[in-house]
């Protein structure tokens, strides 16, 4: 475990964000911190955000939950409101007809099994007013060629969210799955080889003709985390994609 800076003294609102070192995760940590939450990042490397508590875990490894369980318990004990944002993801490029079983397992471990495991860890601390928010993808409800494991995992994540909604009934804890469109992140840029030409082409798919910025997704996640009326919702946040 590592921590940077200091957290808000006496804070009773806690937000846990996975994959908070960069991109959407980092922007989401900042948003919750600005709203007075004690913020906790869970990822392979610490978050650079000052005042954020970082618990280091590799979701592809079998015993990560045992390694951080006690530290996580200590940080969230006594929280009056807990928000868990499942943001960490693993993108695998593969064909449905040539899937590598181990690669698919890693995809499901990070994208589906890790969120389910974290749900179990925080379950005793989900007081009324708490929320579990999943970060899906445009590919949570559609598919494109060449990323079968990722598409399958993100579809499964929607199923996990819907199961979460049903299994939390009566507890006044809500859930939703937010599906970002093409967002300007390090992951996207690396995926396209930092090609400005490819990024421009991707932006043209959106009706606004631009990429989404991470703060826009962070704001959407915060809205859903603090509005129980969205319970069980799959919400696409993509600026309107052009169907082709």
Within a domain: residue 7? Answer: yes
Within a domain: residue 199? Answer: no
Region 86-103: mean pLDDT is 95
* Cβ-count burial 114-152 (b if 16+ within 10 Å, e if not): bbeebbebbeebbeeebbbbbbbbbbbeebeeebbbbbb
Within a domain: residue 86? Answer: yes
Within a domain: residue 52? Answer: yes
Q: Is the pLDDT reported for residue 237 higher than 60?
A: yes
Within a domain: residue 157? Answer: yes
Domain count, the chain: 1
User: For the segment 177-212, what is each residue's pLDDT rounded down to a tens digit?
Assistant: 999 999 988 878 887 888 889 999 999 999 999 999
Within a domain: residue 23? Answer: yes
The whole-chain average pLDDT of the chain stands at 93
CATH number at residue 230: 3.40.50.720
Q: Is the pLDDT reported for residue 161 higher than 80?
A: yes
Region 15-36: mean pLDDT is 97
Per-residue model confidence (pLDDT) at position 8: 43
Q: Is the pLDDT reported for residue 6 higher than 70?
A: no
Q: Is the pLDDT reported for residue 156 higher than 80?
A: yes
How far is 179 from 226, CA to CA, in rounded Å? 17
Higher pLDDT, 194 or 135: 135
Within a domain: residue 244? Answer: no
């Amino acid at each position: 475990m590592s921590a940077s800076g200091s957290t808000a003294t006496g804070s009773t609102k806690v937000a846990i964000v996975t994959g908070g070192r960069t991109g959407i995760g980092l922007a989401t940590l900042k948003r919750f911190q600005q709203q007075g939450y004690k913020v906790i990042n869970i990822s392979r490397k610490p978050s650079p955000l000052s005042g954020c508590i970082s618990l280091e875990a590799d979701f592809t490894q079998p015993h990560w939950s045992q390694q951080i369980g006690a530290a996580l318990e200590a940080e969230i004990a006594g929280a009056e409101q807990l928000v868990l944002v499942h943001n960490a993801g693993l993108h695998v490029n593969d064909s449905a007809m040539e899937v590598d079983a181990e690669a698919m397992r890693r995809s499901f471990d990070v994208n589906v099994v890790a969120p389910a495991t974290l749900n179990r860890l925080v379950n005793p601390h989900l007081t009324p007013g708490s929320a579990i928010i999943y970060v899906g993808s445009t590919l949570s409800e559609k598919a494109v060629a060449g990323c079968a494991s990722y598409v399958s995992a993100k579809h499964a994540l929607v199923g996990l969210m819907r199961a979460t909604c049903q299994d939390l009934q009566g507890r006044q804890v809500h859930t939703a799955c937010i599906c970002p469109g093409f967002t300007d992140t390090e992951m996207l840029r690396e995926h396209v080889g930092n090609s400005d030409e490819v990024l421009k082409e991707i932006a043209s798919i959106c009706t606004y003709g631009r990429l989404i910025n991470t703060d826009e997704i962070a704001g959407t996640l915060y809205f859903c985390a603090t509005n129980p009326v969205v319970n069980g919702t799959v919400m696409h946040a993509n600026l309107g994609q052009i169907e082709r």
